[in-house]
């Protein structure tokens, strides 16, 4: 199911920026450009203020490093999807882009077909990361290393951060996803799920017992299966306050 990605273009050279904006205009409604920036500081302020879904980001911004920009942003917000643009095929930057889970890495001058394919990848990733865009009622869809995982909301006991991604715990075991915990929180927040600390989201509907002394939460499925969740101090305090 396609959607429209709110997009910010960050490019410090005027002509490439205008050319890219024109090509993106031709790709509506897959993208909606909500701002364009020509330097590090204006990009930082705009991204923090507008919180786009997608960045078209030049690797070098008047001598400053866009990887540093993303690291700075990550301290204050979940990172948008990123398509890097560059005039150079730099392996070090490519590896940094991969570590930041960039959607794509495009060499200038940017071919319209390559740009279209990168936008399609970003759109696919967005839909996979947001269960509310899934066409299956009552189910959440999560991107995995091999495809997609579909789960009923009531089968999800809790979710824990796993580096930049997250691990979903059900009453049958655990599943690794390629979805960040911040995205999980946005996607599951309307379905009885609560983030109780920096690394854990819990399905409040399934909580059966809280053992404050052992810092343990027991969750139970509708058919009586149980799973234990060891709580952090902050997590226990949050649940005691909510329940």
CATH number at residue 112: 3.40.50.2300
**CA 235 to the chain's CA centroid:** 22
Looking at residue 91, its pLDDT comes to: 62
What whole-number distance in Å separates Cα of residue 42 and Cα of residue 214?
A: 49
Statement to judge: residues 209 and 94 lie in one domain: no
pLDDT digits (tens, 9 = 90+) for 64-79: 888 889 889 988 888 8
Looking at residue 134, its pLDDT comes to: 53
Statement to judge: residues 207 and 145 lie in one domain: yes
Looking at residue 1, its pLDDT comes to: 44
Residue 100 belongs to domain spanning:
5-129
Statement to judge: residues 192 and 159 lie in one domain: yes
Statement to judge: residues 197 and 225 lie in one domain: yes
Report the CATH number that the domain containing residue 209 is assigned in CATH.
2.40.50.1020
Contact by Cβ (8 Å): 20, 141: no
Looking at residue 163, its pLDDT comes to: 85
- The domain boundary residue, chosen from 129, 158, 173: 129
Statement to judge: residues 116 and 211 lie in one domain: no
- The domain boundary residue, chosen from 73, 95, 129: 129
- The domain boundary residue, chosen from 129, 151, 174: 129
Dihedral of CA 16/21/27/31: which sign? Answer: positive
Looking at residue 164, its pLDDT comes to: 79
Looking at residue 9, its pLDDT comes to: 97
Statement to judge: residues 117 and 138 lie in one domain: no
Statement to judge: residues 114 and 10 lie in one domain: yes
pLDDT digits (tens, 9 = 90+) for 89-104: 666 666 665 556 688 8
Contact by Cβ (8 Å): 208, 214: no
- In the numeric block, the tokens 């060499």 are attached to 107
Statement to judge: residues 61 and 103 lie in one domain: yes
Statement to judge: residues 124 and 157 lie in one domain: no
Statement to judge: residues 164 and 74 lie in one domain: no
Burial classification of residue 113, based on how many CB atoms lie within 10 Å of its CB (0-12 exposed, 13-18 middle, 19 or more buried): exposed
Residues facing residue 107 across a β-bridge: 86
Tokens of 53: 């879904």
Statement to judge: residues 143 and 101 lie in one domain: no
Tokens of 91: 């392996």
Statement to judge: residues 165 and 71 lie in one domain: no
pTM: 0.57
The number of domains in the chain is 2
- Mean pLDDT of each 10-residue bin along the chain, 243 residues long: 81 93 91 94 94 91 84 87 81 61 84 92 79 62 80 94 91 90 78 90 96 96 96 94 86
């Amino acid at each position: 199911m396609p959607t429209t990605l709110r997009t910010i273009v960050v490019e410090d050279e005027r002509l490439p920026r205008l050319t890219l904006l024109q090509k993106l205009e031709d790709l509506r409604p897959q993208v909606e450009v909500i701002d364009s920036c020509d330097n590090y500081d204006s990009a930082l302020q705009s991204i923090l203020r507008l919180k786009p879904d997608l960045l078209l980001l030049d690797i070098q911004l008047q001598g400053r490093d866009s990887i540093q920009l993303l690291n700075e942003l990550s301290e204050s917000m979940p990172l948008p999807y990123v398509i890097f643009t560059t005039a150079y095929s730099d392996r070090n930057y490519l590896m940094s882009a991969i570590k930041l889970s960039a959607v794509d890495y495009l060499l200038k001058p940017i071919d319209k077909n390559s740009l279209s394919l990168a936008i399609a990848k970003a759109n696919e990733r967005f839909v996979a990361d947001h269960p509310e865009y899934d066409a299956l009622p009552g189910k959440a869809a999560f991107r995995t290393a091999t495809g997609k995982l579909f789960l009923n909301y009531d089968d999800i006991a809790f979710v824990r951060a796993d580096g930049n991604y997250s691990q979903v715990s059900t009453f049958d075991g655990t599943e690794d996803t390629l979805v960040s915990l911040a995205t999980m929180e946005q996607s599951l927040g309307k379905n009885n799920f609560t983030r109780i600390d920096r690394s854990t989201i819990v399905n409040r509907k399934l909580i059966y017992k809280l053992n404050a002394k052992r810092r343990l939460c027991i969750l139970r499925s509708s058919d009586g299966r149980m799973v234990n969740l060891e709580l952090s101090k902050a997590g226990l305090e949050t649940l005691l306050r909510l329940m």
